[in-house]
Amino acid sequence: MSRGLNKIMIIGNLGRDPEMRYTPSGRPVTTFSVATSRTWNTADGEKRVETEWFNVVAWSNLAEICKQYLSKGQQVYVEGRLQTRHWDDADGNKHTSVEIVANEMILLGDRRESSDASTGDLEAEEDEFPF
């Protein structure tokens, strides 16, 4: 039997703060969007930029981590699989959505500071060892 592969890796910036909710069984799920951009020059030398938006879904522990540490504008690496969902709205219109179901997330760039108190503790430790 042959095996298939469904894997996606993106690096981009969060378009909005993550939103976390819970399933009826209590399982956490977090959603957020990530923008990736590519830049190129046309044959005429004109610079072009194209941005692609991805909807990301994280479950369980990863959902909680994403909600806690991610915020709009941060650069992030997301790895997972593509999933297509189909549904009909209340008016009977058919809809399709493609999203990344994340299984790994790495925060890139600067991390947001958790609190002034933790920064103060770090400075105190540096003062104790002045070498």
What pLDDT is attached to residue 110?
A: 65
Q: What pLDDT tens digit does each residue of the chain (131 aa) get?
A: 789 999 999 999 999 999 999 999 999 999 999 999 999 999 999 999 999 999 999 999 999 999 999 999 999 999 999 999 999 999 999 999 999 999 999 999 765 544 333 333 333 344 444 43
How far is the C-alpha of 24 from the C-alpha of 63, rounded, in Å?
Answer: 16
User: What structural domains and CATH numbers belong to the chain?
Assistant: 8-128 (2.40.50.140)
The CA distance from 54 to 31, in Å, is 11
CB atoms within 10 A of CB 89: 8
Q: What angle do CA 51, 55, 60 make, to 5 degrees?
A: 145
Question: What per-residue confidence (pLDDT) applies to 123?
Answer: 37
CA distance linking residue 56 with residue 81, whole number of Å: 10
| Ramachandran class of 39: left when φ > 0, alpha when ψ lies in -120 to 50, beta otherwise | beta
